[in-house]
Amino acid sequence: MVKQVSVFLPNEPGVLAKFTELLENNKINIRALTVAETADYGILRIIVNNPDKCIEVLRNANYLVSETDVLAFEVEDKPGGLHRIANLMGENNINIEYLYSTLTSKTAIILMRVNDLEKASTLLKDAGIKIFSGSEIYSI
């Protein structure tokens, strides 16, 4: 599993710059991210090179932070690659709560939160899909 850091940020000018400056000053590198926003705030979900340090730094700076385990796996970078995964989860009654992606020079990677991490992980492995460990993702 991969540790995802979620941070609540006010939806105001300059807030993201202040946040990213804190990460930069602490040598925390973002590997993947997604933002869900409302009129008043955003939820920034990030995968970073050092999640434990990131959580400590953010909490010390009074950010509202949570951590969640997500799956990280390789997906074929071609039409139908994501459909294969969505179909596998749906056929096995696994709800995809959200997902986002990142790329390396070699592969496309999906980060996915589901209602049953263990079952989803087993299904992906049994289907021959490469699942990445946290250390593999943190170092990409």
**How many domains does the chain divide into?**
2
- pLDDT exceeds cutoff 80 at 105: no
- pLDDT exceeds cutoff 90 at 106: no
The region, left, alpha or beta by phi > 0 then psi within -120 to 50, assigned to residue 128 is left
7-31: per-residue pLDDT in tens? Answer: 999 999 999 999 999 999 999 999 9
Domain of residue 79, residue span: 70-138
- pLDDT exceeds cutoff 80 at 45: yes
Q: Can you give the pLDDT at residue 126?
A: 96
26 and 48 fall within a common domain: yes
Q: Can you give the pLDDT at residue 107?
A: 83
E strands of the chain, at which residues?
A: 2-10, 30-37, 41-48, 64-75, 96-103, 108-114
28 and 59 fall within a common domain: yes
81 and 58 fall within a common domain: no
| Percentage of the chain modeled with pLDDT above 70 | 100
127-139: per-residue pLDDT in tens? Answer: 999 999 999 999 8
Last residue of a domain, one of 54, 69, 84: 69
- pLDDT exceeds cutoff 80 at 76: yes
63 and 82 fall within a common domain: no
